[in-house]
Amino acid sequence: MNISRMGLVGFVILLAVVLQVAVFSLFSVNGVVPNLAMIVVVAATIARGPQFGATVGFVAGLLLDLAPPADHVAGRWALALVLVAILAGRVRTDARRSPIAGLATVAVCSFIATSVFALSGVVLGDHALPASEMTQVIGIALLWDIVCAPLLLPGLMALFERTRTPELAY
């Protein structure tokens, strides 16, 4: 992958993180916004496999962890999004074939990502909320991601497909 393609991927990640923090906070439901970074990671994994997806997940997660106004222990979103890439990589072939399977993947990944983040918070004693609040947040986040995925997933997948180095060149 050459520099310009890498730059494009980086730009998509940056855009997702900034939109999530600066724009989607206008539409937040109880403070919950669509997890755009997670959708980007799922799209990357489905389009290009778990290795690429996990790298995108790590970078996007670390950016979420470090960009203002994040205050939690760094690395928690990185871990959650790398795990999302592993999971999406497992069902990748199915998710590529049917849009419904892609949507289901996003739904499961949303649940896993927010849950892993919440659990890591409980383990570290870092910004842990009561379980009832956490489940509510996980639920709203899941609905948001299901609403946003059909709009974003096809476009993002096509974009990531294009960043692939042509296989025939080998």
Partner 1 sequence: MTDDDGRTRFGRQRGGSSRAVVGVLVAASLTVITVDAAGGDHSPIDPARAAIGNVIGPIESTTATAVRPFRETMAYFSSNDDLRADVARLSAQNSRLRSEAEQVPLDRNRLRELDGLTKTANETGYALVAARVVGMGPMQSFSRTVTIDAGTSSGIHKDMTVLNNDGLVGRVLSATRTTAVVLLVLDTDSVVGGRLGSNLEIGFLRGRGVTGDRGRLDLDLVDHSVSPATGDVVVTWGSQNGVPYVAGIPIGKVESVYSTPRELAKHAVIDPFVDFTSLDVVGVVVPRRTQGDRLVINGVGGKR
Site residues (CB under 8 A) for partner 1? 14, 17-28, 30-33, 35, 49-51, 54-55, 57-58, 61-79, 82-83, 85-86, 89, 93, 96, 113-114, 117-118, 120-121, 124, 126-129, 133-134, 137, 140-141, 164, 167
State in angstroms the smallest separation of the CB of 43 from partner 1: 16
Give whichever of 104 and 111 is closer to partner 1, judged by the CB atom: 111
Nearer CB in complex with partner 1: 16/153: 16
Q: Closest approach of Cβ 32 to partner 1, in Å?
A: 4
Q: What are phi and psi of 32, to 5 degrees?
A: -90, 130
Distances (CA, A) of 93 to 55, 111, 151, 153: 19, 21, 20, 15
Q: Map residue 67 onto helix, strand or coil.
A: coil
Q: Residue 10 Cβ, how far from partner 1 at the closest point, in Å?
A: 12
Identify whether the C-beta of residue 60 lies closer than 8 Å to the C-beta of residue 41: yes
CB of 104 to partner 1, least distance (A): 19
Instruction: Report which DSSP code applies to 49.
Output: -
Give the residue with the Cβ less far from partner 1, 133 or 147: 133
**Packing angle of the helix pair 3-18, 50-66 (nearest 10 deg):** 50
* H/E element, 117: helix 99-124
Give whichever of 38 and 153 is closer to partner 1, judged by the CB atom: 38
Q: Among residues 100 and 123, whose Cβ is nearest to partner 1?
A: 123
Distance between CA 170 and CA 162 in Å, rounded?
17
Using CA atoms, how far apart are residues 17 and 52, in angstroms rounded to an integer? 18
- Least distance to partner 1, CB of residue 79, Å: 4
